[in-house]
A and B are shown apart, each in its own frame.
Chain A
Amino acid sequence: MTTNVERSTDDDVVAIPLRHPWRWVAAAAVIVVLGLLLNSLWNNENIAKQYIWQFIFDPRILKGVWITLLVTIISMVIATILAIILAIMRMSSNPVLRGVSFLYIWFFRGTPLLVQIVFWGYLGLLYKQISLGVPLTDFHIFAVDTNTLIPAFVGGVIALSLNEAAYAAEIVRAGLLSIDHGQREAAYSLGMGPGYTLRRIILPQSMKVIIPPMGNETISMLKNTSLLAVVAVPELYTASSQISSGNLRQVELLIVASLWYLFITSVLSVPQFYLERYYARGNSRELPPTPFQQLKRAVARMRGRADNRRIAAQAHEEAGA
């Protein structure tokens, strides 16, 4: 028998972490390219930076930000509710409901969003009044002028939500289809009805499939609100272009608007993260850490490394002494 290197089994594993040199190389390359790009913008004679600072917190811009955010959230909420209804109709055994849902999705996906927005803006030309009464007679319980009932803001929200619902319906449908058939059977065998089963068992589980693409849709929605400029809703883009048509600082105000769009996009990803986390419960043995927890762990890791280094240095010293 040859004498082997001694194999100890009761030591702790004190492994030196794997190094990742290419990460640093890639990071360096990205920083250089980004730096060059930003430098060329920053030092561009044709961009007057002081206008960006001047207008980024201008009351008109802030109001635009607020309206953009409001339109985005209201439209997404309405669209999601409609989408769930459409998806359920699409999967129903009733052929009329299936057909209606199919036609809806076909129509609203098949025509440009811009056209739909302008259409709702022009509804007042098509129907002067909207009234409740007996059809085909002159008897009205009430009647209102279309343009008072549907101001630009409401028309814009209607256009955006009806259009978004058509896309979201397919996302919801995919989510519902992703749930194992055994879930429905177990629910039915417990005496749950179809509606209760959908609400308590199927939809909550579908959420983990539905939410990530709906996050995407929300960001699209945010940017699509800028199309409401054509019907003069004073949202962010309208506000910035109104200002720039006065002072002719188009590029600067586009930068202002873009910075705000980027900021809102980032802010919106926070609720998405927590929603995903909430609906992931039970699906894995451990929930993904919140950013706060991640930070705490990173700090702990760095401390740990520093400790290791200190311990190693100490051991080295002791060995030398």
Chain B
Amino acid sequence: MSENELMVDARGVRKWFGSNEVLKSISLTIPRGEVLSLLGPSGSGKSTFLRCINHLESIDGGRIYVDDELIGYKQRGDKIHEMKPREIAKQRRKIGMVFQRFNLFPHMTALGNIIDAPIGVNGESKAEATAHARELLERVGLADKADAYPAQLSGGQQQRVAIARALAMKPKLMLFDEPTSALDPELVGDVLDVMRDLAKSGMTMIVVTHEIGFSREVADRMVFMDGGVVVEAGAPRDVLDNPQHPRTQAFLESVL
């Protein structure tokens, strides 16, 4: 596979928190348009890996390329330099992220949440950003909630606004960190529907989730992580129905 067919190319990524090695040389490649499901027990480093991809965390070893760009650092000769905050911010614009706890801006309406970054960061006109935002709200099924504040929305509605907010920046890659874990069971379906549509539209996605059914149906590939290493990877059907590694087997038994 040639280099530029890859959306994400993570090579030997290592990350320490103090004396705790959280990522122990993670290598993963994600072709454009692929949906990757990331699975693993709590504390295995899934969130940390996602946060390294958009450089919310710096890395201590290895390289991460997104869309053929080295993330967070500049390579000059054989030396690596830290980037300025402004340059990092620019790289993050093509990587959308959806958080477990939504993290909507509570002082802005749903519409305000969606249009703020396109106007303030991308320099779109207000009319242009608003029109796009209304389209996105329509797409996530919340056209009538444009003027509602986050506190007036249910968890599932908030998360769908958060997805629309990330999409408003027209990202090439979407990262989902347990997007349905904080939701009441009856609200999970609406959020998964939106993500399913997004996957169908060809978006490259990395999804950390314990929704096995969703992964089986939507993901092209599944990766099982434990203790900061990739234990097993393959088609979801193979990993779920025929796990090779005992740690994968033990984890699947505990969640299924």
Contact = CB atoms under 8 A, between A and B. Distances in A.
A186 B121 contact: no
A194 B87 CA distance: 12
B209 interface: no
B95 interface: yes
A189 B56 contact: yes
B165 A190 contact: yes
Range of interface residues on B (Cβ < 8 Å): 20 to 34
Given A200-B116, A279-B107, A192 B149 contact: no
B150 interface: yes
B97 interface: yes
A5 to B, nearest CB: 38
Interface residues of A, number: 24
Nearest to B118: A190
B108 interface: yes
A145 interface: no
B234 to A, nearest CB: 29
Nearest to B93: A191
B50 to A, nearest CB: 10
A190 B119 CA distance: 12
Interface string A188-209: 1111111010001100110000
Given A191-B92, A191-B169, A283-B106, A185 B56 contact: yes
A8 interface: no
B85 A193 contact: yes
Nearest to A280: B107
Contact of A190 (B106, B108, B117, B150): B117
Nearest to A180: B103
Contacts, number: 77
B150 A193 contact: no
A190 B112 CA distance: 14
A88 to B, nearest CB: 14
A182 B106 contact: no
Contacts of A283: 106-107, 151
Contact of A188 (B56, B106, B151, B152): B56
Nearest to A207: B107
B107 A196 contact: no
B103 A205 contact: no
A102 to B, nearest CB: 24
A281 B101 contact: no
B59 interface: no
Contacts of B56: 185, 188-189
A285 interface: yes
A220 interface: no
Interface string B119-152: 0111000000000000000000000000001111
Contacts of B72: none
A272 B82 CA distance: 44
A39 interface: no
B121 A190 contact: yes
A104 to B, nearest CB: 25
B58 to A, nearest CB: 13
A185 B99 CA distance: 9
A17 interface: no
12 contacts: A183-B103, A186-B99, A189-B97, A190-B165, A190-B166, A191-B92, A192-B89, A193-B85, A193-B86, A205-B105, A282-B106, A283-B106
Interface of B: 54, 56, 85-86, 89-90, 92-93, 95-97, 99, 101, 103-109, 116-117, 120-122, 149-152, 162, 165-166, 169
Interface of A: 180, 182-183, 185-194, 196, 200-201, 204-205, 279, 281-285
Given A188-B54, A192-B117, A282-B106, 16 more contacts: A182-B99, A185-B99, A186-B162, A188-B92, A189-B97, A189-B166, A190-B93, A190-B116, A190-B165, A190-B169, A191-B93, A192-B120, A193-B85, A201-B105, A283-B151, A285-B151
